[in-house]
Amino acid sequence: MTEFNYMSEAGLYAGKKLKGSSRPRYKRFETAAEAVRFAIEDLPGSQLRGSILEIDEARFNERQIRMLYDAPGFPLLRRTR
């Protein structure tokens, strides 16, 4: 993936849960890094599937979100497993 600005503002559209919920599926983040970490570490796998990270006009799917999280340049501490 080309150079990515983790400090840009970002929006995350979470994928649908397997069982319905009326909670909002969109969340805004001050930085893309926070959005990426939230998507990978806090969303259930069923919700990560179908999620979209939006930064300016660019959109990233769940596979690309995972690549951003795993990239050596990811600026935040990762949760230990």
Is the full-model pTM beyond 0.85?
yes
What is the band of 24 on the pLDDT scale with cuts at 50, 70, 90?
A: low
At residue 16, the pLDDT reads 77
At residue 65, the pLDDT reads 98
pLDDT digits (tens, 9 = 90+) for 28-40: 999 999 999 999 9
The C-alpha atoms of residue 9 and residue 56 are separated, in whole angstroms, by 8
Residue (of 40, 42, 36, 27) closest to 7 by Cα position: 36
Structure tokens at 56: 């300016």
